Amino acid sequence: MGGMSGKRGNGEGSIYPYKNGYAAYVWVTKPDGKRARKYAYGKTREEVHDKWLKLHAEAKQGPVQTAHRTLASFLAYWLDSIVKPNLAPLSYVSYEGYVRLYIGPYLGAKRLDKLTVRDVREWLTKLATVCQCCAQGKDAKREPNRRKCCAVGDCCESHPSRRVIQGSRDALRAALTHAIAEEEISKNVASLVKVPKPRRRRVKPWSVAEAGQFLTDAAARDDHLFAAWVLVLCLGLRRGEVLGLTWKSVDFETGELYVDHQIQRAGRQILHRETKTEDSDDFLPLPALCLKALRMRRAQQLGDWKAAGDLWQDTHGLIFTTKYGTPIEPGNLTRMFALRARRAGLRATPLRNTRHTCSSLLVALKVHPKVAQRILRHSQIAMTMEVYAEASEEAVRAAIGKLSDAMGGTG
């Protein structure tokens, strides 16, 4: 009953000449319970015989996949069954976008188990040169009279940024890591490809004098977000954290703030979620300036509420709301910050860059070092000696004095 002689053992299925070599099959039970043939191919009879023995062993152990799934079908399964139930909504939205726009169209048809490092490298190289306005039909979706580039044959060459390319690679890598865990593949080809890191522009943070000028301008204009800017600049709070604050978060008696929620935009909805880090569930001491700004904000909001009447719809008890009580878009806060900085005659600095101004501002406001230390631990900014040097300057004293006047006399 030697398998090599061409004679076959019982239930062996035959090995037969095929194209430029040999082929064989084994009857297996598929995951859906149906019986089917699974084929093995090779150049020599011996090679096919070995593969064929492996198939037999596999068939004895349980159900066998006969058709290999494509990357597209694996990614769809990964997004729905793994990412959606287990990760934050924001992660799902981000991964889903990368899969739909940047991975699927180029690699989706490839077999998951046959994806190579070279495939991934070639995909990333190509991705960098594909105009996304053309690929996603952005211009085609505009009103016919407003089309101005790709849809009218004048490509605008909006190529994906380095950040998008890196994000696409990272999303594919995350999915393949899961495929390895499920034993569908044995190595992660996406993690073997290097992608250039996005360049980060270094912008010098505002000095205390600049921060003071910004706040003075906002206070003088009775800006509804004045208290938000104060919290961002004094406490180093992140954008989502400031917008997620509720009145329950503030204890006016003890002068403390509890940072435990954030506002996030996830796809089409705005979420008010608990912050995930343990150490941020901490009371931050509120410097006098912050307390005063929050009291001013409370008066403003009551005014808005009265003015809006029945249109008021604040469900969370948020501190910072639109004039109808709804949450403020995180993206809008960033835009408003840039707009107001320009209006106050200051050089632009990204909103998240203000975290570095926080330590010098606390010193300038003569916040007790113990209090400052607690606030700064939250924003992980090392308090440096040069901060103290800067805080003694005339300009700083003048800036803080002006701010105090604009707020009605008390700092």
pLDDT at position 97, please?
Answer: 92
pLDDT band at 385 (very low <50, low <70, confident <90, very high): very low
Per-residue pLDDT tens digits for 161-214:
888 999 999 999 999 999 888 778 889 999 988 887 767 677 788 888 889 999
Q: How far apart are CA 105 and CA 9, in angstroms?
A: 46
- The HSE-up count of residue 225 (CA atoms within 13 Å, CB side) is 23
**Beta strands at 283-285 and 15-18: parallel, antiparallel or unpaired:** unpaired
Q: Is the dihedral of CA 93, 98, 103, 104 positive or negative?
A: positive
Q: What percent of the chain has pLDDT over 90?
A: 30
Both ends of the chain: CA-CA distance in Å? 97
Q: For residue 78, give the amino acid letter.
A: W
**Average pLDDT across the chain, whole number:** 83
What are 154's two structure tokens?
Answer: 């004048």
More confidently predicted of 122 and 264: 122
pLDDT band at 387 (very low <50, low <70, confident <90, very high): low
411 class by beta-carbon count within 10 Å (0-12 exposed, 13-18 middle, 19+ buried):
middle
Per-residue pLDDT tens digits for 254-283:
888 888 778 777 777 777 777 655 554 467
Per-residue pLDDT tens digits for 323-369:
889 889 888 999 999 999 999 999 988 887 777 788 778 877 888 77
pLDDT at 384 over 50: no
Q: Which residues contact 401 (CB under 8 A, 6 or more apart)?
A: none
